[in-house]
Structure 1
Amino acid sequence: MEFEEVYKKERATRKFTNRKVMERLLTKIVKEAQQSPSLLNSQPWRAYAVTGESLENIKKEFKENIDNKVDPKEDFASMLSLDWDTFPSQNMAVMGASQTYFFSNRINLFAEANAEMFNAPAIIYLTIPKKSPAWSVFDLGIFAQSIMLIAINNGLSVMPAHSLVSYPDIVRKYAGISENESVGMAIAIGYKDNNAEVNDDKFIPDRVPFEKIFKLSK
């Protein structure tokens, strides 16, 4: 695809079909994403693609924790502060209002999709060493964006979701991730279910007015 087309197709997919993603395609996506830049070429990231029985086990145990109201224990918990600055707080307030409109009579659909990990046939978990500077988190974000754009360019849809890393110990068990690594991000990958109401493309969140985020100095 042309880059502009790929970029415009980057949307959160809340439910995938049962169609499997070929292993060689997952490998191709991550390999191409390795070209992402990083501080001093540190390349701190590692990617763990999980499918099949291993993913089903993760989904099952996550669902049990959700049903039993087990508190999340994210590896990035210390970075997930709710003490937001005024500017992003205002943006989230606007977003919250628009979400209320979009999810009118659909909140249960989203909750169900979220609890089932969006029916994703594959999830790529991204880690960095626990002994990492803050810059490595920035690098991991670049790597994640590369993965998503490359996946879209290959005809797939994506869902980066905080909920996918809520219980990192479960992920470690089935993905073979070391205790020395922080499970920081995860991207669900698959083929979009166009018949799912929760995937309504009519809802596109508004962007912050450009003049509020951009300044040119000469």
Structure 2
Amino acid sequence: MDFADVFEKERATRKFSSKKIDEQLIAEIIKKAQQSPSLLNSQPWKAYVITGDALSKLRKENKTRVEKKIPANEDFSAMLSIDWSTFASQNMSNMGAFVTYFLHNRTELFNDANKNMFDAPYVIYLTIPKKSPLWSVFDLGIFAQSIMLLAINHGISTMPAHSLVAYPDLIRKYTGINDDEAIGMAIGLGYSDKSAEVNASHFIPKRVQFDKIYKLIK
């Protein structure tokens, strides 16, 4: 697939079908993503893929916690500031209004998708050592983007989501991730459920005006 096409197809998939992916292909995608750059070639990342019975059990417990409104306790919240700048806060506010407009106040579609972990048949959990400089967070983001673009090139849909890492103790329970690793982010993988309203093609959040994020200095 042409790179421009791959990049254009990168969209959050909020509901997946039950169709399986060749697990060897997932491994090959992650192996290829290892070519991503990192500070001083530190390559701080690790990837854990969960599926099948283990994921079903994790999904069930995760849903119970969400429905009970148990507060999230992400690993990164203990490592990094969770305060947002005014600029970022305004963008998130606009996103919320956009969702409400296009779904005609049916935000429960998004809530249901979140608590069911988007029905993703595979989830990749990405970690870095808890003892890491902030550069490693940047490196992890590059690694994650590489994984997603490579997956899309193979016709696989993706969903990077904060909600997937809300309860790290549950994740460790089913993946065996060590306590000295910070579970930084997760990516749902699978094939998009084309019939799901929450995946409607008209729902593409707006981007900040280019001149607000770009400046050329000579």
2:63 aligned with 1:63 = yes
Query: Hey, what does 1:163 align to over in structure 2?
Result: 163
Amino acid at match of 1:136: S
Closer, same or farther: CA 192–80 of 1 in aligned 2, 3 Å = farther
1:81-112: CA deviation from partner (whole Å, max 9, x where unpaired):
1x322222222232222122023243122211
Displacement of 1:27 in angstroms is 0.2
Distance 2:56 2:40 in 1: 38
Does structure 2 conserve the Cα–Cα contact (< 8 Å) formed by 1:130 and 1:181?
yes
TM-score (norm 2): 0.96
Q: How does 1:1-218 map to 2 (within 5 A)?
A: 1-78=1-78, 79=80, 81=82, 83-218=83-218
Amino acid at match of 1:183: I
Distance 1:58 1:21 in 2: 19
Structure 2: gaps (5+ residues): none
Displacement of 1:80 in angstroms is 5.3
Amino acid at match of 1:162: H
Amino acid at match of 2:203: F
Closer, same or farther: CA 109–97 of 1 in aligned 2, 3 Å = closer
Does structure 2 conserve the Cα–Cα contact (< 8 Å) formed by 1:106 and 1:198?
no
Amino acid at match of 1:153: N
Displacement of 1:67 in angstroms is 2.3
1:54-95: CA deviation from partner (whole Å, max 9, x where unpaired):
1111101111212222221110113251x3222222222322
How many residue pairs get matched?
217
Aligned-pair RMSD on alpha carbons?
A: 1.1
Does structure 2 conserve the Cα–Cα contact (< 8 Å) formed by 1:20 and 1:121?
yes
Structure 1: gaps (5+ residues): none
Does structure 2 conserve the Cα–Cα contact (< 8 Å) formed by 1:14 and 1:118?
yes
Distance 2:152 2:106 in 1: 26
Distance 1:65 1:97 in 2: 26
Percent of pairs with identical residues: 61
Distance 1:131 1:143 in 2: 18
Displacement of 1:114 in angstroms is 1.1
TM-score (norm 1): 0.96
Does structure 1 conserve the Cα–Cα contact (< 8 Å) formed by 2:100 and 2:106?
no
Amino acid at match of 1:205: P
Amino acid at match of 1:56: S
Distance 1:107 1:91 in 2: 18
Closer, same or farther: CA 88–69 of 1 in aligned 2, 3 Å = closer
Distance 1:193 1:56 in 2: 18
